[in-house]
Amino acid sequence: MHLLRNQAYIDGQWLKANSNDVFPVTNPADDCIIAEVPDMDASDAQKAIEAASKAFKTWRETTAKERSFILRKWFDLCQNNTDSLAEIITAESGKPLSESKGEVAYGNSFLEWFADAARHVNGEVLCSPWPNKQVIVTRHPIGVVSVITPWNFPFAMITRKVGALMAAGCTCVIKPSEDTPLAALAAVELAQQAGVPKGVINVITSSRKNAPNVGKILCEDPNIGCISFTGSTHVGKILYGMAAKGVKRVSLELGGNAPFIVFASADIENALDQAMLAKFRNNGQACIGANRFLIHEDVYDKFVDGFKNRIKQKCVLGPGIKPGVTCGPLVNEMQAKKVSSLVDEAVQKGAKPLVGGKFATNLGSKFYESTLLVDVKPDMTIYKEEIFGPVAVCLKFKTEEEVLEVANGTRSGLASYVFTRDLGQAFRMSRKLEFGMVAINDGILSAAEPPFGGIKESGIGREGSKHGVEEYTDIKYTLFSGLDK
């Protein structure tokens, strides 16, 4: 893994922590140590912010064409190093190598998209209410952005955020997850090779112990203009509260509780194929992963039987580097305990696992079997909470009104999936589902071109699309008067 780096990156230099402390990054498949990286604290974060603030003064003055050129070079280098990046992702996150390569392709698509989008951050000339005055609106980079990313897509979450903010003319300090910092360091190594000026991108690594203090300064330092965070709703609320002290911009992509709705008119074979993608991608560890399978009573038995058979045939559990494996380990012990406790409580209260429902202890401590649960009731925690693991919960419904009530009965509002061949029903569901994203007859909706994001407690703002760049800009209104003099 020639892109493996074991130091943080501040102001164009690879550095240790001020304290010289380190913490291990382990492979979740076998708990072996991949590397030890700096365990940085608030003083290191302050140094990174100062570097980003200094760099912003010059980076904001570069032309959109210059920024586009550098982003394109970064994209080309990431494309050429797909295999090396994928090896690092698999080593630290556990996902199968094929999925890691898919993540690199997905992450690269954002660099390609924002390289183009950089040259289309346009303003407006408005109709003036006065005969001798001109009104224009321009967009300007918001400043230094704190980028805090999760462990489930450690490369793509970097490029989706950093590509956008760089296109807008901003600089950043990245704090990757303590479980998966190596993909971020590899990405910034390639950014350096692409000619990204020093200080524009900075990466600080810290253990779970130092994360609260580092997060505090990344939210409250007066030089920070925006906090961009992907992760749990719980942590997002904490960061939002910190950002409020300085009235800072936030871009929050938080937890989901995605319904997967199958109506009687649906193409059941397609719905089953898409269900496998929507549920078991990254072993269920995805914020847009299907969480609740709501199946019409007329096709419930057919769907559940087909789902059970597909899980048995297609979900192959094992280390991510092993050929043929489709589901790797859960990322850490905490995640493994959460998933198993949700299933155990449901089974104790009467739920029935048709497939799975336990750890594959012959493989290791974090390998949980792909699971299908039925007879789930509203008093079970798994009925209400995001599972974030390889567990599918099937529920039966009778009417469109009933399924809308169940689907919308959550404070989350990120992604939703609907399967129907009734065109009118498809439009009604698109309008009435209280989610930021609705996929009709498809289980994969992520791409660089559409706006990704949620409503309610699933977040604020959008990533990807032209809106992803605009998140990192301020609007300025300028009035030109005296034009008739």
For residues 27-53, one letter each, b for 16 or more C-beta atoms within 10 angstroms of the residue's C-beta and e for the rest, the string is bbbeeeebbebbbbbbebbbbbbbbbb
Q: Which residues contact 2 (CB under 8 A, 6 or more apart)?
A: 84
Residue 484 is predicted with a pLDDT of 77
Query: Do the domain assignments include residue 141?
Result: yes
Residues 430 and 461 in one domain: no
Residues 206 and 282 in one domain: no
- CA 169 → CA 59, 76, 156, distances in Å? 6, 20, 20
Cα(381)–Cα(249) distance, integer angstroms: 34
| CATH number of 296's domain | 3.40.309.10
What residue ranges in 151-282 does DSSP mark as E strands? Answer: 171-175, 201-203, 224-230, 249-253, 258-262
Residues 86 and 213 in one domain: yes
Residue 109 is predicted with a pLDDT of 98
Query: Do the domain assignments include residue 1?
Result: no
Length of the chain: 485
Query: Do the domain assignments include residue 162?
Result: yes
Alpha helices in 290-376 (DSSP H): 300-314, 333-348
Residues 109 and 228 in one domain: yes
Measured at the CA of 379, the angle between CA 346 and CA 268, to 5 degrees, comes to: 65
Tokens of 132: 């001798």
The single-letter code of the amino acid at 341 is S
**What's the number of domains the chain is made of?**
2
Residue 18 is predicted with a pLDDT of 96
Q: Which residues contact 401 (CB under 8 A, 6 or more apart)?
A: none
Residue 1 is predicted with a pLDDT of 82
The Cβ-side half-sphere exposure at 462, using a 13 Å CA radius, reads 18
Query: Do the domain assignments include residue 452?
Result: no
> How many Å separate Cα 196 from the centre of its chain?
23
Query: Do the domain assignments include residue 379?
Result: yes
Nearest C-alpha neighbor of 150 from the set 256, 281, 254, 248:
254
Residue 192 is predicted with a pLDDT of 98
Max Cα–Cα distance, the chain, nearest Å = 85
Residues 73 and 199 in one domain: yes
Residue 483 is predicted with a pLDDT of 81
Query: Do the domain assignments include residue 482?
Result: no
3-state DSSP helix/strand/coil % of the chain, to nearest 5: 40, 20, 40
Tokens of 286: 């995805």
Residue 247 is predicted with a pLDDT of 96
The single-letter code of the amino acid at 77 is L
Task: Render each residue's pLDDT in the chain as its tens digit; 485 residues.
Answer: 899 999 999 999 999 999 999 999 999 999 999 999 999 999 999 999 999 999 999 999 999 999 999 999 999 999 999 999 999 999 999 999 999 999 999 999 999 999 999 999 999 999 999 988 999 999 999 999 999 999 999 999 999 999 999 999 999 999 999 999 999 999 999 999 999 999 999 999 999 999 999 999 999 999 999 999 999 999 999 999 999 999 999 999 999 999 999 999 999 999 999 999 999 999 999 999 999 999 999 999 999 999 999 999 999 999 999 999 999 999 999 999 999 999 999 999 999 999 999 999 999 999 999 999 999 999 999 999 999 999 999 999 999 999 999 999 999 999 999 999 999 999 999 999 999 999 999 999 999 999 999 999 999 999 999 999 999 999 999 999 988 76
Cα(394)–Cα(344) distance, integer angstroms: 16
- Residue 21 and residue 37 in contact, taking contact as beta carbons nearer than 8 Å: no
Residues 379 and 469 in one domain: no
Nearest C-alpha neighbor of 69 from the set 194, 214, 241:
194
Residues 299 and 376 in one domain: yes
The single-letter code of the amino acid at 189 is E
Residues 469 and 423 in one domain: no
Active site residue 253: yes
Residue 268 is predicted with a pLDDT of 98
Contacts by 438-444 with C-beta closer than 8 Å and gap 24+?
Answer: 439/415, 441/266, 441/267, 441/270, 441/271, 441/274, 442/274, 442/417, 443/260, 443/273, 443/274, 443/275, 443/276, 443/277, 443/278, 443/290, 443/417, 444/274, 444/277, 444/278, 444/281
Q: Could you tell me the residue range of the domain that residue 216 belongs to?
A: 8-253+457-477
- Which residue among the candidates 99, 112, 178, 253 is catalytic per the annotation? 253
Nearest C-alpha neighbor of 478 from the set 62, 140, 104:
140
- Residue 322 and residue 424 in contact, taking contact as beta carbons nearer than 8 Å: no
Of all helices (H) and strands (E), which one includes residue 139? strand 134-141
| CATH number of 124's domain | 3.40.605.10
Residues 338 and 249 in one domain: no
Residues 67 and 209 in one domain: yes
Residues 42 and 143 in one domain: yes
Contacts by 237-242 with C-beta closer than 8 Å and gap 24+?
Answer: 237/457, 239/148, 239/215, 240/460, 242/215, 242/216
Query: Do the domain assignments include residue 43?
Result: yes
DSSP string, 36-85: EEE---HHHHHHHHHHHHHHHHHHTTS-HHHHHHHHHHHHHHHHHTHHHH
Residues 338 and 275 in one domain: yes
Cα(92)–Cα(179) distance, integer angstroms: 7
Query: Do the domain assignments include residue 483?
Result: no
